[in-house]
Structure 1
Amino acid sequence: MSNKNTLPILVFIMLCFIWGSTWLFIKIGLDDAPPFLSAGARFLLAAVLLYPFMKLKGLQFPRDWRVLSIMIYTGTFAVSVAYGLVYWSEQYLSAGLTAVLFSSFPFFVLIFSHFMITDDGFSVKKIVGSIVGFSGIAVIYVDSIKLENTIILLGTSAIVVSAVVTAFSNVTIKKHSKSLDPIVLTVVQMICGAVSLLTVGLLFENVGDFKFTVKSIGSLFYLSIVGSCVAFVAYYWLIRQVKVTTASLIIFVIPLVALFLDWLVLDQLLSWRILAGSGLVISGVGLASR
C-alpha cells in the first residue's frame, strides 16, 4: 500500500480515537463548568494556540470576501450552533448516548452530498453500509434510549439538530475545499465559535459557576489542543483527500471508542448486545467505505 493511501487511513484511525474520547472529556468538564462558557473557552484557547502555527506556516486570513464568508458561515454552524447544542445536551444525557444520537450525521451527509456535490451522491453500498452501521449503534444502546421526560426529549432533539448542522457545514466545506486552507479554516471557525459561545455564556450563564479545578482545566486543555486543534485540521485535510461521505463514517466508530472508555474509566461491563452491535458498526463502516 502506497504512502498516499496509507496516510488517510492513519488519519481516519487517529480521528476515531480522538473524537471518541471528547464526549467523555466534555462530560467531565461539565461537572465544574457551565456548557456555553466551557465550549467558548475551549475554542478560544484552540484559536490562540493554532494562530501562531498558522503564521509560522506563512498563512494569512483570506482577503477574498467570498472565501472568508464561507469560513465564517461554516464556523458559525459547525462550531457555534453544533457544539453549543452538544455541550448543552450533555448536561442531561450520558456521553455515550450523545455520541450515539450524533451518529445520524452520515445520513444527513448523504442527503446533502447528493444535492450539493455531483460526484459524491447516493450509492447502494453507502446506503446499505450506513444503515448497517446505525443499526449496530441502535443495538448497543437499545436499552439506553429512553425519553423519560421533557428535558431528555429536548436534549436528544438538540443532538440530532447538531448532526444536521454539522453535516451541512462539512458538505459545504467539501464543495469549496480547493479554496479553503484547512489550518486557516480551522482558526476562523474557532474564532467564530469562541465569540458566539462566550457571548451566549456571558449573557445567560453565571461566570462564578466556572470552577478552576483539575476536571474543568484538564478537560479544557485536552479538548482545545487534541480535540480541536489537532482533530479539526486533520479532519479538514482528510475530506480533501477522500469523499466526504467516506470521511463522515468516522462517526460510526466514535461510539465504540466511547464504549471502551466507559468500560476502562467507569467500569461499565461489555454485554453480548454491545459486542454484537460493535460487529455491525465495523461491518457497516467497511461496506460503506468501499
Structure 2
Amino acid sequence: MTDNRSPLHFFYLFLLALFWGSAFMFNKVAVDSIPPLTIAAGRIFIGALIVTGLALKMGAKLPRGRDQWVQCLVIGILGNVIPFFLVSWAVQHVQSALAAICMSLMPLFTLALAHVMTHDEKFSVQKLIGVIFGVLGIVSLFYGTIREVTPSLTLYLALFGLLATSFFYALCGVLIKNLKNKNPLSTSAAMLIMASVVIIPLALMLERPWTATPTVDALVATVMLGVFSTGLAAYVLFHLTHITGAVFVSYNTYLIPLVGMAAGYIWLDEALKSTYFISICFIFTGIYLAERRKSVPHPVS
C-alpha cells in the first residue's frame, strides 16, 4: 500500500470513527429497554435496507456467485452479528467509554491477522514491540476497571467480550480486503442481508422482542445505530478498505475512543477516569511503534 494518502482517505477514516465511536453511546441508551440481541438485529436490518436501497438506486448489482454470498455470510456473522451483540450486551455492565477504548486494540489484532492472511502486510520485530505495548494497555484497562468496581464474573465476561469484539472487527477488515468483488455497495449490502438472515430469527426465538416495552429514546438510538453506525458505516468500511487496505482502516481506532469518551461524557454523564487515558497512551504508543516506517537513507551525491 502506498503511503501517499489522499485527504479524502482521512475524511472517510474520520467519518468511520464518528459512526463507530458514537455507537457505544447509542447502545447504552437502547439497551435500557431493548434486549441486546434485538438491538443488534434491528440495526443490522435497518442497515441492510439502507445499503441495499442505495445499491439498487445506483445500479450496483448484488453478488451472483454462490462463493461471494458465502463470503459475505461469513463476514456478516464475524463482523456484524457477533460483535454487535457483544457490544450491546457488554455496555449493560461497563461504561460506553470503556467499550470504545477496547476498540483501540483493533490495529494490533489487524497487524497479526494481516501477517497470516495477506501477502503485503507482514509482521516484524518492530510490530511485535508495538503489540507488547498494546498488551500493557489491556492490563492497565483491566486493572483500572476492576479496582474501581466490585469484581464479578459478569464484569470479566463483559471486558473479554469487548476485546473479542475488537478482534472480530479486525478479522472482518482483513476478510474484506481479500474479497474479489471490490464494489463497496454490492458487498456491504450482501453482507448486511446475510447477517439479517442469521440474526433476526435468533432474536425472535431467544428474546421475543414483541414482549419488550422500549422507550422512545431506545427506539431512536436503535434507528441511529442502524442508519449511521451500521448502514453508512458498512459502505464506508468496504470502500475505504478496498482503496487503502485493512491496516490503514484500523487506524480509525485512534479516534473511536475519543469519540466514545466524548459522547459518554456529554450525553450520558460518564466520568473520565485517569486509567482510561493511561491505557490509551499504551495502546496508541503500541500502534505507533508497530506502524512507524523506518527511514530510508538517501544516497549521498
* Same-fold status (TM-score > 0.5): yes
Query: What residue identity is the alignment partner of 1:67?
Result: Q
Report the alpha carbon displacement of residue 219 of structure 1 after superposing the two structures with TM.
0.5
Residue in 2 that maps onto 1:95: 96
Change (3 A) 1:258 1:70: same
**Following the alignment from structure 1 to structure 2, what is the Cα–Cα distance between the partners of residues 246 and 126?**
15
- Larger mean Cα displacement after TM superposition, 98-107 or 33-42: 98-107
Residue in 1 that maps onto 2:23: 22
SS in 1 for 2:123: coil
Pairs within 5 Å for 1:158-197 = 158-176=161-179, 178-197=180-199
SS in 2 for 1:144: helix
Query: What residue identity is the alignment partner of 2:62?
Result: F
**Following the alignment from structure 2 to structure 1, what is the Cα–Cα distance between the partners of residues 268 and 139?**
21
Residue in 1 that maps onto 2:204: 202
Residue in 2 that maps onto 1:51: 52
- Larger mean Cα displacement after TM superposition, 262-271 or 272-281: 272-281
Residue in 2 that maps onto 1:151: 154
Residue in 1 that maps onto 2:297: none
**Following the alignment from structure 2 to structure 1, what is the Cα–Cα distance between the partners of residues 41 and 151?**
30
Change (3 A) 1:125 1:232: farther
1:71 aligns with 2:72: yes
Q: Do 1:31 and 1:215's aligned partners in 2 also have CA atoms closer than 8 Å? A: no
- Aligned residues: CA RMSD: 2.7
- Larger mean Cα displacement after TM superposition, 49-58 or 24-33: 49-58
Give the TM-score of the pair, scaled to structure 2: 0.83
Report the alpha carbon displacement of residue 281 of structure 1 after superposing the two structures with TM.
5.4
Pairs within 5 Å for 1:218-257 = 218-257=220-259
**Following the alignment from structure 1 to structure 2, what is the Cα–Cα distance between the partners of residues 104 and 250?**
11
Q: Report the count of equivalent residues.
A: 288
Q: Do 1:50 and 1:187's aligned partners in 2 also have CA atoms closer than 8 Å? A: yes
Identity, in percent, stands at 24
**Following the alignment from structure 2 to structure 1, what is the Cα–Cα distance between the partners of residues 277 and 40?**
33
- Structure 2: 5+ residue stretches without partners: 293-301
**Following the alignment from structure 2 to structure 1, what is the Cα–Cα distance between the partners of residues 285 and 16?**
19
**Following the alignment from structure 1 to structure 2, what is the Cα–Cα distance between the partners of residues 124 and 250?**
23
Q: Do 2:90 and 2:162's aligned partners in 1 also have CA atoms closer than 8 Å? A: yes
Give the TM-score of the pair, scaled to structure 1: 0.86
Change (3 A) 1:96 1:65: same
- Structure 1: 5+ residue stretches without partners: none
**Following the alignment from structure 1 to structure 2, what is the Cα–Cα distance between the partners of residues 126 and 9?**
23
Q: Deviations over 1:77-113 (max 9, x none)?
A: 2111222222222222221222233433223222221
Change (3 A) 1:81 1:269: closer
Report the alpha carbon displacement of residue 271 of structure 1 after superposing the two structures with TM.
5.8
**Following the alignment from structure 1 to structure 2, what is the Cα–Cα distance between the partners of residues 207 and 193?**
18
- Larger mean Cα displacement after TM superposition, 207-216 or 6-15: 207-216
SS in 1 for 2:144: coil
Q: Do 1:103 and 1:134's aligned partners in 2 also have CA atoms closer than 8 Å? A: no
- Larger mean Cα displacement after TM superposition, 65-74 or 266-275: 266-275
Q: Do 2:181 and 2:187's aligned partners in 1 also have CA atoms closer than 8 Å? A: no
**Following the alignment from structure 2 to structure 1, what is the Cα–Cα distance between the partners of residues 286 and 122?**
18
Query: What residue identity is the alignment partner of 2:7?
Result: T
SS in 1 for 2:49: helix
Residue in 1 that maps onto 2:105: 104
Change (3 A) 1:73 1:224: same
Q: Do 2:63 and 2:187's aligned partners in 1 also have CA atoms closer than 8 Å? A: no
Q: Do 1:97 and 1:145's aligned partners in 2 also have CA atoms closer than 8 Å? A: no
Residue in 2 that maps onto 1:60: 61
**Following the alignment from structure 2 to structure 1, what is the Cα–Cα distance between the partners of residues 90 and 137?**
23
**Following the alignment from structure 2 to structure 1, what is the Cα–Cα distance between the partners of residues 274 and 156?**
28
- Larger mean Cα displacement after TM superposition, 185-194 or 274-283: 274-283
Report the alpha carbon displacement of residue 130 of structure 1 after superposing the two structures with TM.
5.2
Q: Do 2:44 and 2:196's aligned partners in 1 also have CA atoms closer than 8 Å? A: yes
**Following the alignment from structure 2 to structure 1, what is the Cα–Cα distance between the partners of residues 42 and 274?**
40
**Following the alignment from structure 1 to structure 2, what is the Cα–Cα distance between the partners of residues 259 and 208?**
32
**Following the alignment from structure 2 to structure 1, what is the Cα–Cα distance between the partners of residues 254 and 138?**
8
